[in-house]
Structure 1
């Protein structure tokens, strides 16, 4: 066997011993063939849903090492739709540099497929309200990797926009989130006015969120009034979308109210005096 290739059994041994450092150290020596072989060996245990019984006998630190090892090896050897197969826990928000290192070890082609498949998995999740604040965590993880160049996204794609809609909705304040990430106002936000059923469905779903002052429609108007978005461009985009018969009637009506709110800001709901309760409470299904 060539020196630069390690056997799949060695990687499996790192997993069984809960050695995340061993997984990371092996990345540069993993061939595509070894990754595929290791996935076939580890596919079932990595795909299994862990419950309380699985945690028995672990200390807190030991359990965290166990999860970290499983996540890293899943990303290192799994297929590009690994998030759909095993869950979003593999993104390890507590260890972003580890995840970036593993993703960087995969081929550009795999990373491209992983990006598309991960967005698709999130965008197709039907229980939006059930996930609550996790949307903001997941969005931040993906957005940070986009900024760092670890993953490349198409910010005009429907799945990206649905993820943005859900993520910022559960950030606590859509307006504040856009203020903190001004690049979104340059391109992605304007793609919200293009016909895409999943995007329009997500925008209408935000209207059913119990905090009426933090819907996407209200946020867009507030951003325009604050000068973050061009108010004339926003009014024009909303007017065009409201007349676009490729969209459903309810979807067109959603856009139609934006120019009305721009013309009469007194109709904009004010935030609750003591702030909004924690995101995820009193939610209807948003999808």
Structure 2
């Protein structure tokens, strides 16, 4: 493993997966831990072509996934599952035990959802969500689609997708399952939902998107109104969280309350990290 690391040989890592056991993984991680966790800077890239640099990152990511502990994404960085091609990540994850994959899934969701600098990540949330959702649909990971950490990543990811409505329309399983868990009391989820109101595009907040999804028939209109009404009276939530839900039935009853999306012109004041294309 050390030789593969030093040679930037990602294909060699994949070829070695079948022979990896815990007796090999643990000492390999200890031998490479410091270098895998080190932040790569300009000095490490000096003299490398773009292709060689990409292969170096790919090799490090695959090695970290292949030999690292369940919280490897927190220790090394999200790039361990973001940078390599999805098929490479699937192969490495398939080589780990079911118990490891379950613990890795939980640890990764927790680490990403715990990130407090949401605006700093910006569009990266969409990349994180798409990759984790791809791995879920491919069967490489099996997260609980109703857990608070999963929901936080869904909320953040789709917020930076340019269109929450479009993203859910393209992934109807979310409308059948995870969407309805947004109405259950979980402070981190409610905080993420309210946070979407602070971004500059008022037409792409989660509250507006839920109403539009109901008006277009993707979500059941009456079920949405009922779920929002129940959440608005749920004493387990904070007052400002309940107020967020209370607005949904009002907009369902009077769609004119929905913000109008301008056809042109500058974006409204506020966070302009990402402007819809």
**Normalised-by-shorter TM-score class:** over 0.9
Q: Corresponding residue for 1:80?
A: 70
Q: Corresponding residue for 1:146?
A: 136
Q: 2:198 aligns to what SS in structure 1?
A: coil
Deviation at 1:270, TM superposition (A): 1.7
Write the distance in 2 (CA, Å) between the matches of 1:84 and 1:72.
15
Q: Corresponding residue for 1:49?
A: 39
When the two chains are superposed, the root-mean-square deviation of aligned CA atoms in Å is 1.5
> Cα gap change, 1:199/1:237 in structure 2, threshold over 3 Å: closer, same or farther?
same
Q: 2:262 aligns to what SS in structure 1?
A: coil
Write the distance in 1 (CA, Å) between the matches of 2:202 and 2:21.
52
Write the distance in 2 (CA, Å) between the matches of 1:218 and 1:276.
20
Write the distance in 2 (CA, Å) between the matches of 1:94 and 1:32.
23
Query: In the alignment, is the contact (CA less than 8 A) between 1:93 and 1:141 conserved in 2?
Result: no
Q: Is residue 178 from structure 1 mapped to residue 168 from structure 2 by the alignment?
A: yes
Show CA shifts across 1:178-198 (max 9, x none). Answer: 000000000100000000000
TM-score scaled to structure 2, two decimals?
0.95
Write the distance in 2 (CA, Å) between the matches of 1:116 and 1:215.
27
Deviation at 1:54, TM superposition (A): 1.0
Q: Please, which moves more after superposition, 259-268 or 57-66?
A: 57-66
Q: Corresponding residue for 1:237?
A: 227
Query: In the alignment, is the contact (CA less than 8 A) between 2:233 and 2:242 conserved in 1?
Result: yes
TM-score scaled to structure 1, two decimals?
0.92
Query: In the alignment, is the contact (CA less than 8 A) between 2:213 and 2:219 conserved in 1?
Result: yes
Write the distance in 1 (CA, Å) between the matches of 2:81 and 2:265.
31
Deviation at 1:61, TM superposition (A): 1.3
Where do 5+ consecutive residues of structure 1 fail to align? 1-10
Q: Corresponding residue for 2:210?
A: 220
Query: In the alignment, is the contact (CA less than 8 A) between 1:242 and 1:254 conserved in 2?
Result: yes
Write the distance in 1 (CA, Å) between the matches of 2:186 and 2:265.
33
Deviation at 1:272, TM superposition (A): 2.5
Write the distance in 2 (CA, Å) between the matches of 1:134 and 1:80.
22
Query: In the alignment, is the contact (CA less than 8 A) between 2:82 and 2:131 conserved in 1?
Result: no
Q: Is residue 117 from structure 1 mapped to residue 102 from structure 2 by the alignment?
A: no
Write the distance in 2 (CA, Å) between the matches of 1:232 and 1:207.
24
Q: Is residue 163 from structure 1 mapped to residue 153 from structure 2 by the alignment?
A: yes
Q: Corresponding residue for 1:249?
A: 239
Q: Is residue 128 from structure 1 mapped to residue 118 from structure 2 by the alignment?
A: yes
Write the distance in 1 (CA, Å) between the matches of 2:272 and 2:127.
20
Query: In the alignment, is the contact (CA less than 8 A) between 1:123 and 1:163 conserved in 2?
Result: yes
Write the distance in 2 (CA, Å) between the matches of 1:230 and 1:211.
25
Write the distance in 2 (CA, Å) between the matches of 1:92 and 1:63.
15
Note the 1:25-104 alignment, pairs <5 A: 25-104=15-94
> Cα gap change, 1:26/1:276 in structure 2, threshold over 3 Å: closer, same or farther?
farther
Number of aligned residue pairs: give it. 272
Write the distance in 1 (CA, Å) between the matches of 2:248 and 2:113.
25
Query: In the alignment, is the contact (CA less than 8 A) between 2:129 and 2:157 conserved in 1?
Result: yes
> Cα gap change, 1:38/1:80 in structure 2, threshold over 3 Å: closer, same or farther?
same
Deviation at 1:91, TM superposition (A): 1.1
Write the distance in 1 (CA, Å) between the matches of 2:203 and 2:265.
10
